[in-house]
Amino acid sequence: MGSDHRPHIFVTNLRLEARVGVNPGEQGADQPIALEIQIGLDDLALAARSERLRDTVDYVGVVRAARRVVDARHYPLVETLATCIAQAVLDRPGASWVRVRLRKLKCLRHASGAGVELELHRDPSWPVAPTTSGDEEPLVIVGGGVAGMAAALWCHSLGHPALLVDPTAQLGGQLHMVHGLMRDLPAMEPMTGAALAAHMRRQFLGHGGRWARARLTAVEAAPSACQLILEHPTGPGQIRAQAVILTMGVRRRALGVPGERRLQGKGILATGARGSERLAGLRVVVVGGGDSGCENALILSNVGAHVTLVHRGDALTARAQLRRQVAADTRITQRLQCHVERFVGEDRLEAVELGGAAGDELLSTRAALVRVGWIPNSEPLPASWIDPRGFVRADLDGRVPHTEGRVFVAGDLMGRLAPSVATSFGTGAVAARAAVQLIDEG
């Protein structure tokens, strides 16, 4: 089996007796096989930190699963047997992909073995292709983040499975940007965003969830139904729906200054948590005085970076606890009433030009992080649905005004206080229940 640099666990040279083959001498007879099994984990780092068996895939369980498949029946082809073994292992909690190499050891006279190698993934691509105006769905959820998947789970439990529409190749939304451990999830172990996204995708797949990989470009609400205009990878499309739940969320606000777009990933960081150790001893500029800016400044300081925290206002706007921690940290320098004029560098960030009351200054640095708030992804929506900040208006049930009662909203797109995973769970459930009630009442 070829080398694989993705984190995984493995079982090597597992010897079993199997009934496999199409030749006359192989019918009903046991013959030796050897298995190499590799299993990718949703979050291998979590298991390393917790040191608990339940956070990984148990080797003994893998062997038992393979043995049960082998003992179940005669398999005409090694391809069938290897696929069944891979699927049985993939069904174990925590496995995200499985590779199986199966060798029949005594099937050829002049060779030590022959067989097959294959790989299965937990998240296959099964997009619906909305390419005609004739497509109609009872319930459509736009957005595949926490709120969207939570709403989908509730819709399923209430008897109305929904079609999920999301433009990305993998569901999970902003969770894939959360590289640190989330420690405030009620009744859940701390985990990364990617791990939570994987858990929710498994639930979504488990009830036969469907999604269309498409981007919403416009939506209209009428008394009888909603019309969604979509841009699909294969072309434009439309879907009619009795009810729609909007969960498109938000995206990070950019500064819009020269050099920012060009130097993304070339010194302008996507996160302060991932790979922060390599910044120890270096100067890092963090732009933003809110919770996210202060949190990332503290993360970088804790690994030994020297942080310059830049904020337009005359005082940080983060919560009091974070302000106190930043003020007490000797490796963090606050630059208040200051803003970024431009990012400097050709192929790599070299400096940040700052402007403010004291005049312009060129600050040498090899790394910068921008955390200046969020922008709601509400551009496809009619102006009458959104407030002056761009967030979607809604009542306590998540129902959007001026939509004939057929459009609902959940998650960060609502713009309410305490944007969080917990809020997205709750508002997704509320919107799902209200949308299902609308459909049930006809």
Domains of the chain: 8-121 (3.30.1130.10), 136-252+375-440 (3.50.50.60), 276-372 (3.50.50.60)
Angle between helices 320-328 and 291-302 (to 10 degrees): 30
Q: How many CA atoms lie within 13 A of 205 on its CB side?
A: 17
Q: Is 295 strand, coil or helix?
A: helix
Q: In a 10 Å sphere around its CB, with 0-12 CB exposed, 13-18 middle and 19+ buried, how is residue 91 labelled?
A: exposed
CB 339 within 8 A of CB 352: no
pLDDT of residue 388: 94
In angstroms, the CA 12 to CA 35 distance is 7
pLDDT of residue 395: 95
Output the CA–CA distances (angstroms, integers) from residue 442 to 61, 242, 439, in the order listed.
48, 9, 5
Write out pLDDT tens, residues 134-171. 568 899 999 999 999 999 999 999 999 999 999 887 78
137-148: buried (b, 16+ CB within 10 Å) or exposed (e) per residue? bbbbbbbbbbbb
Least confident span in 76-80, 175-179, 240-244, 431-435: 175-179
The mean pLDDT value of the chain amounts to 88
In this prediction, what percent of the chain has a pLDDT beyond 90?
A: 57
Task: Specify the higher pLDDT residue, 433 or 184.
Answer: 433
Write out pLDDT tens, residues 14-23. 999 999 988 8
Query: For residue 102, is pLDDT > 70?
Result: yes
Q: What is the pTM of this model?
A: 0.69
The end-to-end CA distance of the chain, in Å, is 57
Confidence band (pLDDT; 50, 70, 90) for 133? very low
Write out pLDDT tens, residues 324-369. 999 999 999 999 999 999 999 988 999 999 998 767 889 999 999 9
